[in-house]
Amino acid sequence: MEDTLTLPYSAAAAKAPIKRIPVAVLGATGSVGQRFVQLLDGHPWFKLHEVVASERSAGKPYGEAADWRLDTLMPNDASALPVKPLGVELQSRLVFSGLDSSVAGEAEDEYANRGSVVVSNSRNHRMDADVPLLIPEINADHVGIIEHQQKRRGGRGYIVTNPNCSTIGLTLAIAPIERLYGIEAIHVTTMQAISGAGYSGVASYAILDNVIPFISGEEPKIESEPRKILGRLENDGFIDAPFRISAQTNRVPTIDGHLMTISLSLRSRNFVNLDQVREAIDNFRGEPQHLHLPSAPRKPLHYVDGDDRPQPRLDRDRERGMSVSVGRLRPCPLLDLRMVALVHNTIRGAAGAAILNAELLEARGLL
Amino acid sequence: MEDTLTLPYSAAAAKAPIKRIPVAVLGATGSVGQRFVQLLDGHPWFKLHEVVASERSAGKPYGEAADWRLDTLMPNDASALPVKPLGVELQSRLVFSGLDSSVAGEAEDEYANRGSVVVSNSRNHRMDADVPLLIPEINADHVGIIEHQQKRRGGRGYIVTNPNCSTIGLTLAIAPIERLYGIEAIHVTTMQAISGAGYSGVASYAILDNVIPFISGEEPKIESEPRKILGRLENDGFIDAPFRISAQTNRVPTIDGHLMTISLSLRSRNFVNLDQVREAIDNFRGEPQHLHLPSAPRKPLHYVDGDDRPQPRLDRDRERGMSVSVGRLRPCPLLDLRMVALVHNTIRGAAGAAILNAELLEARGLL
Amino acid sequence: MEDTLTLPYSAAAAKAPIKRIPVAVLGATGSVGQRFVQLLDGHPWFKLHEVVASERSAGKPYGEAADWRLDTLMPNDASALPVKPLGVELQSRLVFSGLDSSVAGEAEDEYANRGSVVVSNSRNHRMDADVPLLIPEINADHVGIIEHQQKRRGGRGYIVTNPNCSTIGLTLAIAPIERLYGIEAIHVTTMQAISGAGYSGVASYAILDNVIPFISGEEPKIESEPRKILGRLENDGFIDAPFRISAQTNRVPTIDGHLMTISLSLRSRNFVNLDQVREAIDNFRGEPQHLHLPSAPRKPLHYVDGDDRPQPRLDRDRERGMSVSVGRLRPCPLLDLRMVALVHNTIRGAAGAAILNAELLEARGLL
Amino acid sequence: MEDTLTLPYSAAAAKAPIKRIPVAVLGATGSVGQRFVQLLDGHPWFKLHEVVASERSAGKPYGEAADWRLDTLMPNDASALPVKPLGVELQSRLVFSGLDSSVAGEAEDEYANRGSVVVSNSRNHRMDADVPLLIPEINADHVGIIEHQQKRRGGRGYIVTNPNCSTIGLTLAIAPIERLYGIEAIHVTTMQAISGAGYSGVASYAILDNVIPFISGEEPKIESEPRKILGRLENDGFIDAPFRISAQTNRVPTIDGHLMTISLSLRSRNFVNLDQVREAIDNFRGEPQHLHLPSAPRKPLHYVDGDDRPQPRLDRDRERGMSVSVGRLRPCPLLDLRMVALVHNTIRGAAGAAILNAELLEARGLL
């Protein structure tokens, strides 16, 4: 097997904590929650200690409460953990949230106010003025806002978030170009996998031999989140990056992996050099790579050669699903550049992103 | 059943010829050829008289030579016809071509030079200076170039062509907007069905649980053909419409129906009124409707309400696959407008388009 | 288009009622209910008069209450009908039931006791001692039990049922062989389409790139219902046919059409002649054909040549989905014969079967 | 990740050769050949030394000649190897053959006659009287025939083969039952993945929303090979096991993993105890487990609980695709037992099986 797909967590990670930090997962029986449980198995820094779900599951062992749907077996340790009800007092300070957005807003606030560090994949607090929306390769410095948030909450607790699954793919793919030339406008059309909607989110009758040109609430997220992520943290708040975004989202019959076609217009369009862009993508590194965080891919972006790449089934699992693949970079007859990007929506685009965020917090001494 | 889906050929068609015109189909055993044979069955004006294929099939009855793959049975009349070899003298003057582009260029020229009217679905002659590239609802007047072509060939024969499958969907969808406001630029991303590549064109191993962000040769066609179609025929040649197009094409696991997201910038953007655009789309009519051509849809464009429409499986068969569906019309944060369009790629986008072209020629007295 | 796929309802139907009979559909917003509404549109004998659904939908126009998912448009007449709540007094005596089995048992009994003729697709009353389980081509004489049922209910009302979707395909396919040689044992493995589970029955995450070797409650139905259908009605009750059945059921990623491999052992195995069996299948006719019932296929069974047929996508729509296709008849190294059969599960296997049953009742003067 | 899915090759393997044995792969650019190349990467005993393909590819580096389609990257070492033409003299004595059956028969014979040990996945020599058809957990003793074959060839070369992909799943699943009770008859219906036909074997147009109830040449293989495998090697030849088999094969739209429903009648049917059968399946071990061969799964058979298991997408990768999963064991109303089995067709059912065979040969001192 190719190494980048089977790499276990890096043994060389700097600053590893002396003993593994106990963590809780909120919404542990759902699809994002199951990914948290899967990815935490064997994690060198974190140890799954508590699983939290709705009242209905509370009291049952996790192995019984969760209708496990991933293609690896449920970790034995997780299976025996008793499910705790949402709202209960937790022993772990570090809390991953895979809660549904219908309950995440209030529940995450409550835990943060009680002192928890809530690392959330939910959309509810992403755009809050004092909550960082993190892609650690891009805006690790946005953790600087945390002390403002702690002040507001009057304690040590706080929330950090990761972006929407498509936003992560898009923003990582354009970040090196933004640094190189500055971006003025982004036009993106996504072709998103069914797993993005959770296990029961898309009926097979709706999607077999079909494409659905609409995903509820998705376009506004993609049109706003990248501006916060690529924006600046100044004294006491975020200043959005000034580019405009048009996003058109589609659901296609793939299982995992959001593919997107991207066109960009640049600020300094006179000097665009495709080879330079390609190199900037492939050589892109950020703080997770410098800090050797355990979940950090060796390369956050892989430029894939070949006219017809990246493709979801062939490229989504690169570096355990933590790398974004980019290909087909070429001039756009309308804007300046165009290209194709792919992100594994439930790993780099969800649970894996949150775990990487938590690793950043630990490495920065914020836990 | 809903009427627009089961309408037989219209009995009310004006100018019906007194007896049915015999026609030949070139490349009759291929996927486009089979659609010709299917759609010609029961046609009120045309009667399938000759089937032409490669040397390998010649001499066999069509029922034996063709590996029939459509979901209706092979018409009995067609089944008994002997397959003739490409290049043979034909008895029918009207010739439909579903030839592969590797042989279509020369073969179609040869037949036209001998006096045939070649109505082709192949790409080879689409951009020729004296060959009309027709969407009869839009540019029926482009048949005016035919006399120039006949002069060049020194006889009564000529070639007319229909556009690429995606081009037809795109160009029909934007035509009413071009008339209303003028178009300056088009940004389109397609999600195309596997049938567009012929029966063996896409291996199942390549496309199941996957999207392929590349279709060989497709983007240049979509970026050029609409300019000819929406251009003007002046004294002795075509003048392209001046807009620019950026097309990004993808193959998705659907069987029939090319879906596309479209963004437009307009010339007179100050006066854009979405309701007016929606009405212009839904009320769009052209010469096939005025002439009551047998294959003409009642409405070439259907504006489909509902946030998540059109969808390939639900909307591709409207008006026997001859209508293009449009939905999700809304402002674009980057250009002016955006919307979603769908075309049945093997009917309106291929064989059905060619048959409609031939009907136009007959109604205009050009056969 | 091939005629058997586009045939409208037969104009030649004998005994057509003078004016169309008003009918109600119970469970009209569900997937079977929508098929009823679709198939009743343009029906020569029946006219959709009332639509009934759960309390939640009651009062709304049908066009608003139903989340229409079929690939033809909702009939205009149906769209305007107000949805009535289950249990309400109905004006139509003839009532089609597409109710979910969780409520069908009681509701159907209640309407039958009040005098309705309930033609049900639900499983609840199929095996009741005085309820006919009809495939009109096979056991039209089983309507003889109706008078016993009416006596029990103390009125003119009664229930008739059609079998499970897979049972219909299996039983039709073997009926001519049962008549010819007698059947001793049946071994069947099904590969069933997702539409059999209703629109939301199978999550896409569960079935894409997958097969599920289990369908809840399905195997016992297939192992019992054929014995009642091919059994005899004697004085006051049904006597099951004596063969044994082993059914193994699987869900596969097809949209419509249940495919099954069948092996049979025969009573008189010394005289098996494959040509004779093939002819018996292809020549099989029953009372719906003799009575020219409007929904009756010309041929209830089509023997399809070709090693690799029948196939769901290519053969499910024969005769508007009302015919069962059979192929690959050959000796079985273990039992005596084996073959492949295909039934359109939501037409011949559900709503279409019920409508054919109602036509039989009308033709027999039982309405 | 669950351990059984990510286990690297076992470090504890007994009898490891002192240095890695150089091997050649015939048909290295095809789909089975690519799996060989993938699975040999990092193999503790074998080292890919030569890649052989058709004249057309000869001379090119493998990385250029092979259209790599697996979802891991091509191993770097393989990429640089020059492709040699079929028939060329090889430096490696151990030769894996993934040749197409159109050329495998002659080419494998030629190499064996020249002294090579040919470990073949092709069907051509499977039923030869002096060629072992191996599933090492079942009939490792069949290697005893090799000396007869060497005599016939007049040298040290010989051929060993592994069974057809479906045969391997079926035969492993029933082997413990054969040992326990003796098997009299087998009825099997398969639902086979598209990868079984090679990358271009099944057109997407043929299989999307479809099932094809026929796989050319497959049923005779499944009906004969298990009898040789479960048969006995006596003095100078194989004696087939006496049971009869009926196989019905279907192609379904899954990517990897052949699922099958199996019914069995037993010799000693009076004493059937389902719990005992289940334990016999789960406890089944063979020589690869006793010898700790590097590719040997810890358990060749996994009994999977849950009504709806095994499923291709969820269970095919158990123990790196080398284990067969069994579930739904229950009585059969017709024969005695029935159950469901699943095999990863391109790993345990093809390249992985051949590599395990080669490991057995090395451990037995036969290389």
Chain A CA closest to residue B334? A246
The mean pLDDT value for D48-74 works out to 92
Residue C209 burial class via C-beta count within 10 angstroms: exposed 0-12, middle 13-18, buried 19 and up: buried
Confidence label for D18 from pLDDT (cuts 50, 70 and 90): confident
HSE (side-chain half, CA atoms, 13 Å) at B255: 21
pLDDT (tens place) for every residue of chain B, 367 residues total = 233 333 345 544 456 677 899 999 999 999 999 999 999 999 999 999 999 999 999 999 999 999 998 878 899 999 999 999 999 999 999 999 999 999 999 999 999 999 999 999 999 999 999 999 999 999 999 999 999 999 999 999 999 999 999 999 999 999 999 999 999 999 999 999 999 998 888 999 999 999 999 999 999 999 999 999 999 999 889 999 999 999 999 999 999 999 999 999 999 867 789 999 999 999 999 999 999 999 999 999 999 999 999 999 999 999 999 999 999 999 999 999 999 999 999 999 999 999 999 999 999 999 9
Q: Rounded to the nearest 10 degrees, what angle do helices C218-229 and C165-181 cross at?
A: 40
Question: How high is the pLDDT of residue C235?
Answer: 82
The mean pLDDT value for A298-323 works out to 96
Question: How high is the pLDDT of residue C127?
Answer: 97
**Chain B residue numbers touching A309 (CB-CB < 8 A):** 213
Coil/strand/helix, residue A142: helix
Question: How high is the pLDDT of residue D323?
Answer: 98
The string of pLDDT tens digits covering residues D151-160 is 999 999 999 9
- Given an 8 Å threshold on Cβ–Cβ distance, is D317 in contact with A41? no
Q: Are C177 and C267 a contacting pair, CB within 8 Å?
A: no
Chain D CA closest to residue C257? D210
Question: How high is the pLDDT of residue C2?
Answer: 30
Coil/strand/helix, residue B159: strand
Measured in residues, chain D has a length of: 367
C vs D, Cβ pairs < 8 A, gives 125
Residue A49 bears catalytic tag = no
Residues whose CB falls within 8 Å of the CB of residue C126, separated by 6 or more in sequence, listed in order:
C133, C161, C163, C164, C221, C225, C228
Name the minimum distance, in Å, from the CA of A199 to any CA of chain C: 6
Residue A293: name the closest of A5, A25, A44 by CA.
A44
Sheet holding A324-331, edge to edge: A244-251, A183-192, A258-266, A337-343, A324-331, A301-303
The string of pLDDT tens digits covering residues A226-265 is 999 999 999 889 999 999 999 999 999 999 999 999 999 9
- Given an 8 Å threshold on Cβ–Cβ distance, is D205 in contact with B203? no
Residue C150: name the closest of C174, C171, C131, C173 by CA.
C131
- Given an 8 Å threshold on Cβ–Cβ distance, is D200 in contact with B199? no
Coil/strand/helix, residue A123: coil
How many CB atoms are closer than 10 A to CB A256? 21
- The percent of residues above 70 in pLDDT, for chain D, comes to 95
Spans of chain C below 50 pLDDT? 1-8, 11-13
Question: How high is the pLDDT of residue B15?
Answer: 60
**Chain A residue numbers touching D8 (CB-CB < 8 A):** 6
ipTM (interface predicted TM): 0.93
B81: tokens are 């016809």
Question: How high is the pLDDT of residue D2?
Answer: 30
Q: Which of C67, C204, C215 to mutate to test the interface with A (most CBs of A within 10 A)?
A: C204
Confidence label for A193 from pLDDT (cuts 50, 70 and 90): very high
- Given an 8 Å threshold on Cβ–Cβ distance, is D211 in contact with C312? yes
C129: tokens are 């001692």
What DSSP line would sit under D104-128, residue for residue?
Answer: HHHHHHHHHHTT-EEEE-SSTTTT-
Residue A214: name the closest of B78, B310, C310, B208 by CA.
B310
d(CA A217, CA A221): 7
Q: Are A53 and A28 a contacting pair, CB within 8 Å?
A: yes
The string of pLDDT tens digits covering residues D347-360 is 999 999 999 999 99
Q: Does the pLDDT at position A115 exceed 60?
A: yes
Exactly one of A43, A49, A142, A165 is catalytic; which is it? Answer: A165
Q: Which of B69, B204, B255 to mutate to test the interface with D (most CBs of D within 10 A)?
A: B204
Average pLDDT over all residues of chain A: 93
Closest Cβ–Cβ partner in A1, A73, A255 for D41 = A1
Confidence label for D274 from pLDDT (cuts 50, 70 and 90): very high
- Given an 8 Å threshold on Cβ–Cβ distance, is C208 in contact with A204? yes
Pairing type for strands A83-85 and A158-161 reads: unpaired
Average pLDDT over all residues of chain D: 93
